[in-house]
Amino acid sequence: MSKPCAELFKGIECTIIGNPREEVSGLAYRSDKVVPGDVFFCIVGFTTDGHSFAQDAINRGAKVLVVERKLYLADATDVTLVVVSDSRKAMACAAANYYDHPSARMQLVGITGTNGKTTTTYLVDAIARCAGQRTGIIGTIGNTINGVFEKSEHTTPESPDLQKLFARMVKEGVDVAAMEVSSHALDLERTWGSDFAVTAFTNLTQDHLDYHHTFDAYFEAKALLFSSDYPAVRVINISDKWGQKLLERCSRSGDEIITTGLGRQAQIYPLEIHYGATHTDLVLSVKGDRCALSYPLVGRFNVENVMTAFAIGLALDYSPELIVKALSGVSPVPGRLERVGANASDGPTVYVDYAHTPDALAKAIDAIRELNPRSLTVVFGCGGDRDASKRPLMGQKALAADYAVVTSDNPRTEDPLAIIDDIVAGMGEGTGRFEVEPDRRRAIALALKRSQAGDAVLIAGKGHEDYQLIGSEVRSFDDRQVASELLNEILQQSSGKGGDA
56-110 pLDDT, tens digit each: 999 999 999 999 998 878 777 789 999 999 999 999 999 999 999 999 999 999 9
Q: What is the pLDDT of residue 341?
A: 77
**Do 257 and 264 meet the contact criterion of CB atoms below 8 Å apart?**
no
The CATH code of the domain at 100-328 is 3.40.1190.10
- DSSP assignment of 304-325: HHHHHHHHHHHHTT--HHHHHH
Q: What percent of the chain has pLDDT over 70?
A: 96
Interatomic CA distance for residues 366 and 252, integer angstroms: 36
> pLDDT for 236-267, tens place per residue?
999 999 999 999 999 988 889 999 999 999 99
Query: Long-range contacts: 420-423, Cβ < 8 Å, 24+?
Result: 420/381, 422/382, 422/388, 422/391, 422/392, 423/381, 423/382, 423/391, 423/392, 423/394, 423/395
**Do 490 and 501 meet the contact criterion of CB atoms below 8 Å apart?**
yes
3-state secondary structure of 379: strand
pLDDT greater than 80 at residue 501 = no
| β-pair partners for 65 | 40, 81
Q: What is the pLDDT of residue 497?
A: 54
Interatomic CA distance for residues 16 and 94, integer angstroms: 14
Q: What is the pLDDT of residue 278?
A: 84
pLDDT band at 493 (very low <50, low <70, confident <90, very high): confident
- What are the extents of the domains in the chain? 3-97, 100-328, 338-494
Interatomic CA distance for residues 454 and 208, integer angstroms: 36
Give whichever of 75-89, 137-151, 196-210 has the largest mean pLDDT.
137-151
Q: Which of 109, 58, 121 is nearest to 464 (CA)?
A: 121
Q: What is the pLDDT of residue 344?
A: 53
One-letter amino acid of 478 = D
Interatomic CA distance for residues 143 and 106, integer angstroms: 16
3-state secondary structure of 188: coil
Interatomic CA distance for residues 71 and 65, integer angstroms: 10
pLDDT greater than 70 at residue 300 = yes
> Which of 43-52, 265-274, 353-362 shows the lowest mean pLDDT across its residues?
43-52
> pLDDT for 379-411, tens place per residue?
999 999 998 999 999 999 999 999 999 999 999
Give whichever of 202-206, 324-328, 370-374 has the largest mean pLDDT.
324-328
Q: What is the pLDDT of residue 1?
A: 83
> Topology of 3-97 in CATH?
3.40.1390
CA 453, 455, 456 angle in degrees (round to 5)? 125
Average pLDDT, the chain: 93
pLDDT, greater one: 211 or 117: 117
The CATH code of the domain at 338-494 is 3.90.190.20
The model's pTM: 0.89
One-letter amino acid of 277 = A
> pLDDT for 278-299, tens place per residue?
899 999 999 999 999 999 999 8
Mean pLDDT value of segment 398-425: 97
The tally of CA atoms less than 13 A away on the side-chain side of residue 293 is: 23
**Do 203 and 215 meet the contact criterion of CB atoms below 8 Å apart?**
no
Q: What is the pLDDT of residue 207?
A: 60
135-138 and 64-67: which strand pairing?
unpaired
